[in-house]
Amino acid sequence: MREKIIEEIKKLESAPKIIKNLYNKEEIEEFLKLYKDLPTTVHNKKQNVIKKRWLQGYNEKLEKLFCERLKKEIGDFKMDNLKDENGKDIYGLAQESYAPIGLHVDAGFELNSQIYKQTLIPLSPVGSTVIFKNRFYDGSTSFTQDPEELKKKDLSYGQNKRSSEHLNLYGDKPFDKEVHEKYLKHENIDNLKGLEVELIYKWEVGSMLIFDRTHLHCSSSVIEGKKIGIATFTKK
């Protein structure tokens, strides 16, 4: 069963795509207002990170606009929604931070789902995202060599599992030192063994990045101030 689902996922894979000028200034203002209005899920003062969930019903006009624009780019899809404590659908995740997010994949929490594309809408011009050519099909995972992180097994709903499995999947080629120095200093270079960069997306307000949910990716270490972005996830 799982092999069949992976086959179907692979059939719909494509290169990452940047849609420029998709949202005008007023629409970005609407997204920023939505971000402001949403309740805070996590406020980690030590790491200076605020996380919010895009809960359905906060701005139905914006939800409709988002779905219509996305459908024009990727065809039919369903939102791959987590649920909040009250069973309401979560449209996506918003994050405000000054620090980069580590290497991971957003391949979903239901292994029987046919995952499809994910999107990133920057709400600030600060930040960039690194997409790797390498792919992973075994659920949402944060990739690390940190022994303390790898011990984390008792994870709550919607949290990525921790794994170093990627180090055995993509060969032994050392990661490009120049690219590491320029964009990925927050990652241990050994944790990037066997990985190759597909795209470095420099955040641009009004644009949207669309890519397959099987792509390994992370933030770039090049951040000059506060970055705010909204990520959403789809399935077939």
DSSP conformational letter for 144? -
Domain count of the fold of the chain: 1
Q: How far apart are CA 120 and CA 204, in angstroms?
A: 11
Q: What is the pLDDT of residue 60?
A: 92
CA–CA dist 38, 36 (Å, integer): 6
Whole-number Å distance between alpha carbons of 124 and 122 = 5
* pTM of the entire predicted model: 0.94
Check residue 46 and give its pLDDT: 63
8-state DSSP, 151 = T
For residue 221, give its domain range: 2-235
CB-based contacts of 154: which residues, under 8 Å, 6+ apart? none
Sequential pLDDT tens for the chain (236 residues): 889 999 999 999 999 999 999 999 999 999 999 999 999 988 776 667 899 999 988 899 999 999 999 999 999 999 998 877 777 788 899 999 988 999 999 999 988 899 999 999 999 999 999 999 999 999 999 999 998 899 888 787 778 999 999 999 999 999 999 999 999 999 999 999 999 999 999 999 999 999 999 999 999 998 888 899 999 999 99
Q: What is the CATH number of the domain that holds 83?
A: 2.60.120
Q: Are 160 and 141 in contact (CB under 8 A)?
A: yes
Classify 3 as helix, strand or coil: helix
Residue 119 vs residues 22, 29, 67, 181, 225: alpha-carbon distances, Å? 12, 18, 11, 27, 22
Q: Which pLDDT does position 57 carry in this prediction?
A: 86
**Structure token pair of residue 112:** 């029987």
What is the amino acid identity at position 6?
Answer: I
Q: 150 by DSSP, 3-state: which? A: helix
User: How confident is the model at residue 110, as a pLDDT?
Assistant: 87
Nearest to 113 by CA among 229, 190, 6: 6
